[in-house]
């Protein structure tokens, strides 16, 4: 399940991305209202975490614009803590409202409540604990990966990279997106951090086995699929 974070506090975004990734969610983010609205309007997300005070356009304006075309669940996460602010946020179309500072465990619980309200997602609210493709399997609860029944010895980054790839199996993911999602960094063309990690991951999940699953799409990115 995909979550979009629209928040201008980069440190908080980094913490949320890492925490929600550990919970098994696929997470994207935007650091201002305009780019956040663009992502929310043009891509499909299951929950949007929205700050109230954003550069460009504020959270309420993002919410109002989004509600013209989409009914994605929105949880406002903001420092605005008055009763009037809460009422305004909920009346504007927010599905839930949390005030900073907050407990991460409560945020996750509220996200799962929002997911339960969506009939198409209610059966997967606790997030699938086993991810599979061909003979590749990831056990999220135990944080272990296997192929053909053999445990794979992965580093933390390799594990995160594999989770992102398997959650979006069959989809080409660019180097820039991998750098953003797994390392929480802006991609620079001269950096080879993604290529190095992909090469190491491929050595562990493909080379010892007959059928390769991780493929390079030249000029575009990488894809995990069974061919």
Higher pLDDT, 3 or 118: 3
pLDDT at 140 over 60: yes
Per domain, the residue ranges of the chain are: 1-119, 128-222
| pLDDT tens, residue by residue, 12-25 | 999 999 889 888 88
pLDDT at 122 over 60: no
3-state helix, strand, coil in the chain (%, to 5): 40, 20, 40
Report if pTM > 0.75: no
| pLDDT tens, residue by residue, 180-213 | 878 766 656 567 889 999 999 999 999 999 999 9
User: What CATH number matches the domain at 128-222, 2.40.10.10, 3.40.50.261, 1.25.40.10, 1.10.10.10?
Assistant: 1.10.10.10
Report the alpha-carbon distance of residue 166 to residue 222 in Å, rounded.
11
pLDDT at 128 over 60: no
Q: To which CATH superfamily is domain 1-119 assigned?
A: Response regulator (3.40.50.2300)
| pLDDT tens, residue by residue, 50-93 | 999 998 899 999 999 998 888 899 999 999 889 999 999 999 99
Report the alpha-carbon distance of residue 184 to residue 199 in Å, rounded.
19
């Amino acid at each position: 399940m995909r979550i979009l974070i629209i928040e201008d506090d980069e440190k908080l975004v980094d913490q949320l991305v890492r925490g929600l990734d550990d919970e098994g969610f696929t997470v994207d983010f935007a650091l201002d209202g305009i780019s956040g609205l663009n992502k929310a309007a043009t891509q499909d997300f299951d929950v949007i975490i929205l700050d109230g005070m954003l550069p460009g356009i504020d959270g309420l304006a993002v919410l109002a614009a989004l509600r013209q075309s989409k009914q994605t669940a929105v949880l406002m996460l903001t420092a605005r803590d008055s009763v009037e602010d809460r009422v305004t946020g909920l009346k504007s179309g927010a599905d839930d409202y949390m005030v900073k500072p907050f407990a991460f465990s409560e945020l996750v619980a509220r996200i799962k409540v929002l997911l339960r309200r969506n009939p198409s997602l209610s059966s997967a609210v606790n997030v699938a604990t086993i991810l599979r493709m061909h003979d590749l399997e990831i056990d999220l609860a135990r944080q272990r990966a296997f192929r053909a029944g053999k445990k794979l010895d992965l580093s933390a980054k390799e594990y995160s990279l594999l989770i992102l790839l398997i959650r979006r199996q069959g989809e080409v993911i660019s180097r820039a997106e991998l750098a953003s999602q797994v390392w929480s960094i802006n991609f620079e063309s001269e950096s080879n951090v993604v290529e190095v990690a992909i090469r190491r991951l491929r050595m562990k999940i493909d080379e010892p086995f007959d059928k390769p699953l991780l493929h390079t799409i030249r000029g575009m990115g990488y894809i995990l699929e069974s061919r």
